[in-house]
Structure 1
Amino acid sequence: MFVPTRIVFGRGELTNLHSQPMPGKKALLLISNGKSTRQHGYLARTEAQLKQAGIDTVLFDQIEANPFKSTVMAASILARQHQCDFIVALGGGSVIDASKAIAVVSTNPGDFWDYIAVGTGKKKPVEHKPLPIVAIPTTAGTGSEVDPWGAIINEETNEKVGFGIDDTYPVLAVIDPELTMSVPPAFTAYQGFDAMFHSIERYLSKTANALSDVVTLNAVETIAGHIAQAVNHGNDLNAREQIALGNLMSGIIMKLSSGISQHSLENAMTAFYPDLPHGAGLLILCEAYFTDMIDKHVCDERFVQLARVMGIPDATEPTEFITALTHLMAECGVAQLNMADYGISPDEFGKFTVNARATMGGLFLADRVPLSDEDCVAIYTTAYYKMSTINQA
C-alpha cells in the first residue's frame, strides 16, 4: 500500500493552509468553470492563505464537470508560460482529476493522450516528473485528493480514461468539511454515492484483501449512515464531516484494491454524454449492475455483509443489499434518475460496451465473474427500462 500524500483533515483546516509545507513558490491555481468557488469565498480564502505562505498564483478557472483533454492542454500551456512550479487544485473531483493530467503535460512534451496506455493513446512513458499537486476538495465524492488517478475525456475520440502514476499523488491534501456545506442536495447525493461505490466495488472485487475489507466496510457504513442527513439537511456539519471521512477512506483504498466494471460501464456513458454527472450515471446503473452479480451468486456473503453495514443488521440474503441500496437512494431523492433524461437511447448500449472495454478494460479483470458483451448490454438495458418505468409511474 502506497499513499504518500500528507493528509490534513478537520473543520476549519483551510485557515491553516499557510502553515503547511509547500512544494514550490508559484502555483497554478485550478478551479472549475462554475460559480460556487468564488461565490462562497473559497477562492479568496485560498488565495489569501497562499499569499500568507509567500506563494504567487496564476488562476485557471475553466475545468468542466467531466474535464476535457483540450482543457488540460490549455491549463498546461498557462503553467509553462508563467513558470509555475506546482499546482493547487481547489474544487471537486473533476478539478483534482484534471490537476493530475495538467501536472504531467506541464513538464512533458506533446499531447496528454501521448501518455495514455489504452484506446487511441500512444503509450509513451512519462519521462519528466510531473508538477507537485496540493489538493483542497470542496466536495466529498471521488477521493481524488489522496489517490493518483484522474479521469479525462478525449472529446475528439469519445474516450474517457483513468490515468495515474505514483508521481501524480497529491503531495498535500487539506480536507476541510466546511467547504462541502455549499454543495446542493442532488450533487451531495451523486458525490456521496460515488464515494460509497468506490468502496463497495473494492469490497466485491477479486482483489479485495484483509486490510481493504476493514477500510471499505467502514467507509460504506460511515457514508450510508450519514448521506441522507447530508443531502436533506445540508447545514448539518457533522453529517458533512462524516461523508468527507467516508470519502477519504474510499480514496485511500484506491491502491490497495481495484474497482470493478461498474465504473467502466459508467465512464463509457459520460464519455459520450459529459453533461451526465458521474455519480448520477453510477446511480442509474447500480441496481441492474449489482443484481446481475447477485443473480450469478458471485459472492453472496459479501453482499450480506454490505446489507448489514448499510442499515439491515440482521440481513441473511444477498438481495437485502439491493433493498438497503434502493431505500437509501429513495431517502436521498435519487431513485428516479433516468438515462433518457440525458438523451441516451438503447441503440447506444453496444457502443458503450465496446468503449468501456477499450478505455477502462482493466477494471473488468477485477470482476469475480467475467462479464460478456451481452451481459453489459443487458445491464444497460435493464437500467434504462427500469428507470423509465419508475419515472412513468
Structure 2
Amino acid sequence: MPCCHADFALIENSDKAFTVGVPTFTFGAGCLAEAGEHARELGVSRVALFTDATLSPSAHVAAVLASLKAAGIGATVYDEVVVEPTTASFQAAARFAAEGKFDGYVSVGGGSVMDTCKAANLYATHPADFMTYVNAPIGGGQRVPGALKPHIACPTTSGTGSETTGIAIFNLTEINAKTGIISRRLIPTVALIDPEVTATLPRSVVAASGFDCMSHALESLTARPWPRRLNPARGASRPVSQGANPFSDGLATEALKGVGRYLVRAVSDASDVEARTEMMYAAMLAGIAFNAAGCHLPHGLSYPVSGLARDFHLPGYPVGKTLVPHGLAVVLNNPSVWRYTAACCPQRHVHGAACLGAEVRDVKPGDASEAGEALAGRVIEMMRAAGIPNGLSDLGFGESDIDALALGAEPQWRVIRNAPKDVTREDLKGLFSAAMRYW
C-alpha cells in the first residue's frame, strides 16, 4: 500500500505538512488509581468529575475519587450526563462547570461523558453563546480562543476513542441532527485507559462501541488524502483532521488488526480478558488515527439514522426513549459505503479487509468491485457474528425514509467532504437504500 497516498501528485498549492495532536496517555490494568497523581502534577486542587447516573455508584468512579482524595484533590461529582448528549444536556453541564469555578476536570465514562466534559470545560473557560463554537455550517464554527483547564479522561468503553480526540458530539435538538465542536484545545490533557473497566459491559455495548472503533480506523484509512488540502494561511490554522496521512495509516492498520482478531471474541465472552484488553487498545489507536485523518461517510450518514429512528431500543442501553447507539448507526452504513468508495482507492479497501482477517489473495489488483466486496463482506460477516441488526430496516426504516435520511445527512458536509470522492444527494439516497438490508 502506498505510504499515505504517495501516488497522489502534489500540486503547487497543496498542503505540504500535517499536524497531529495526541494526549499524554497511560494504558494498563489498574491505572485509574493514578488519577490523583496526574491531577496533582497538573497543579489542580479542585475538580469536577463527570460521569452518568449508571456509573456514578460504580467501583470505577469510586477508584478515581479515592485516588483524588489521597492526592489532596477536592472533587465534586456531576452525574447528569445523558447517553447521546443533546443541546440541553451540554448546556446544563456547562452551567454546572461555570458555577463551580473548577480548576480541573475528570471524566469517567464512555464517549457521551467525555464529550460532555469537554464541552463543559470549554464554555466555562471561554464563555460564549452556545452556537459560537459549534461546527459550521450548523453553528458559528469559531476557533477556541485559548487553552482549557486540565482534563483527565478515563474511558469505560472500548470504541469511541474520545479520550484521544478534540471532538465533542451532541444532538442539536432544534433541527434533530447530530453535530459537534472540534478543536485541538478539546483534546484531554491526560487519558487513563484501564481495560479492567470493560469487564462488566453488556455485550451490546461492547459490540456497538467496538464497531465504532472499526469504522474510525477504516474511515481514517480511506479518507481523502491530506495533500488534497490547500496550504493553510498559517500552520496554526490547519484543521484538526486533515485526511489520510502516514501517521494515521499506521495506527489505523494496527487498530484494524486488533478489531479483526478480538471484536467478536470480546462481544461473545465477558470473561475474555485478552479480547477486551485488546479492544480497549484498538479503540485508543483508532481514536488517535481518526482525530488526525478524520472520518467521512459512515459517520456522516449515521447522524440522521440516530436522529430519525422511531421506537428502537438496544438491550443494555438506557430504557424509556428511542435510542440508536452511535456505533450501531455507524456500522449499519459501513458495507454500502465500502462498495461505493472502493473505486477511489481499491488497494486501501483490500488492505483494510486483510487487516480485519479477510482472505484477499484472489482479489484482482485494482479491481474496485472485488475490493469493495472484500471489505464489505468481511464487515457483514463480523456484524452477523456479533448480533448486529440486519441493516436499517431492522431499525424500522424503509424506502419511504430515504429522502429524509439524505436530507438529514447533508448538513454533515464537514465530515462527508472528507470522503475520497465527491458525494451528491442522489449518492446519499443510493447509499441509504443499499444499507436497508445486507443478508
Per the normalisation by structure 1, the TM-score is: 0.91
> In the alignment, which of 15, 21, 27 is matched to residue 33 of structure 2?
15
Distance (Å, rounded) in 2 between the aligned partners of 1:214 and 1:267: 27
Indicate the structure with greater helix content: 1
What is the CA distance between 1:128 and its match in structure 2? Answer: 5.2
Tell me, yes or no, if structure 1 residue 94 matches structure 2 residue 112.
Answer: yes
Tell me, yes or no, if structure 1 residue 225 matches structure 2 residue 261.
Answer: yes
Deviations 1:191-221 (A, max 9, x none): 0110111010111112223332222111101
Go from structure 1 to structure 2 and tell me whether the alpha carbon gap of 1:316 and 1:231 turns closer, same or farther (over 3 Å shift).
same
Q: Find the counterpart in structure 2 of residue 311 from structure 1.
A: 357
- Mark the runs of 5 or more structure 1 residues left unpaired by the alignment: none
What is the CA distance between 1:236 and its match in structure 2? Answer: 1.4
In structure 2, give the amino acid aligned to 1:303: H
Structure 2 counterparts to residues 49-68 of structure 1, below 5 A: 49-68=67-86
Q: Find the counterpart in structure 2 of residue 269 from structure 1.
A: 305
Contact 1:87 1:99 in 2 (8 A): yes
Name which of structure 1's ranges 371-380 and 123-132 shifts more when overlaid on structure 2.
Answer: 123-132
Distance (Å, rounded) in 2 between the aligned partners of 1:363 and 1:127: 23
In structure 2, give the amino acid aligned to 1:126: V
What is the CA distance between 1:142 and its match in structure 2? Answer: 1.1
Tell me, yes or no, if structure 1 residue 353 matches structure 2 residue 384.
Answer: no
Go from structure 1 to structure 2 and tell me whether the alpha carbon gap of 1:229 and 1:39 turns closer, same or farther (over 3 Å shift).
farther
Q: Find the counterpart in structure 2 of residue 112 from structure 1.
A: 130
What is the CA distance between 1:157 and its match in structure 2? Answer: 2.1
Tell me, yes or no, if structure 1 residue 31 matches structure 2 residue 31.
Answer: no
Tell me, yes or no, if structure 1 residue 253 matches structure 2 residue 289.
Answer: yes
Name which of structure 1's ranges 365-374 and 139-148 shifts more when overlaid on structure 2.
Answer: 365-374
Q: Find the counterpart in structure 2 of residue 287 from structure 1.
A: 335
Structure 2 counterparts to residues 358-373 of structure 1, below 5 A: 358=411, 360-373=412-425
Q: Find the counterpart in structure 2 of residue 214 from structure 1.
A: 250
In structure 1, give the amino acid aligned to 2:430: A
Distance (Å, rounded) in 2 between the aligned partners of 1:74 and 1:373: 35
Distance (Å, rounded) in 2 between the aligned partners of 1:249 and 1:117: 24
Distance (Å, rounded) in 2 between the aligned partners of 1:211 and 1:126: 25
Name which of structure 1's ranges 252-261 and 238-247 shifts more when overlaid on structure 2.
Answer: 252-261
Go from structure 1 to structure 2 and tell me whether the alpha carbon gap of 1:349 and 1:320 turns closer, same or farther (over 3 Å shift).
same
What is the CA distance between 1:263 and its match in structure 2? Answer: 0.6
Say which SS state the counterpart of residue 435 (structure 2) adopts.
helix
What is the CA distance between 1:351 and its match in structure 2? Answer: 2.8
In structure 1, give the amino acid aligned to 2:267: V
Tell me, yes or no, if structure 1 residue 195 matches structure 2 residue 213.
Answer: yes
Deviations 1:161-185 (A, max 9, x none): 1312121110010000001111111
What's the Cα RMSD here?
Answer: 2.0
What is the CA distance between 1:313 and its match in structure 2? Answer: 4.4
Tell me, yes or no, if structure 1 residue 333 matches structure 2 residue 387.
Answer: yes
Go from structure 1 to structure 2 and tell me whether the alpha carbon gap of 1:257 and 1:120 turns closer, same or farther (over 3 Å shift).
closer
Distance (Å, rounded) in 2 between the aligned partners of 1:123 and 1:210: 28
> Which segments of structure 1 move beyond 6 Å, counting only runs of 4 or more?
none
In structure 1, give the amino acid aligned to 2:283: N
Contact 1:304 1:316 in 2 (8 A): no
Distance (Å, rounded) in 2 between the aligned partners of 1:305 and 1:241: 24
Deviations 1:99-121 (A, max 9, x none): 22111111233432222242442
Q: Find the counterpart in structure 1 of residue 153 from structure 2.
A: 135
Q: Taking every aligned residue pair, what percent have the same amino acid on both sides?
A: 24
Distance (Å, rounded) in 1 between the aligned partners of 2:207 and 2:328: 8
In structure 1, give the amino acid aligned to 2:403: G
What is the CA distance between 1:365 and its match in structure 2? Answer: 2.0
Contact 1:147 1:169 in 2 (8 A): yes
Say which SS state the counterpart of residue 174 (structure 1) adopts.
strand
In structure 2, give the amino acid aligned to 1:147: T
Distance (Å, rounded) in 2 between the aligned partners of 1:218 and 1:14: 25
Distance (Å, rounded) in 2 between the aligned partners of 1:30 and 1:19: 18
Distance (Å, rounded) in 2 between the aligned partners of 1:211 and 1:4: 11
In structure 2, give the amino acid aligned to 1:95: V
Q: Find the counterpart in structure 2 of residue 43 from structure 1.
A: 61
Name which of structure 1's ranges 8-17 and 156-165 shifts more when overlaid on structure 2.
Answer: 156-165
Distance (Å, rounded) in 2 between the aligned partners of 1:211 and 1:83: 38
What is the CA distance between 1:39 and its match in structure 2? Answer: 5.0
Say which SS state the counterpart of residue 181 (structure 1) adopts.
helix
Distance (Å, rounded) in 2 between the aligned partners of 1:141 and 1:324: 19
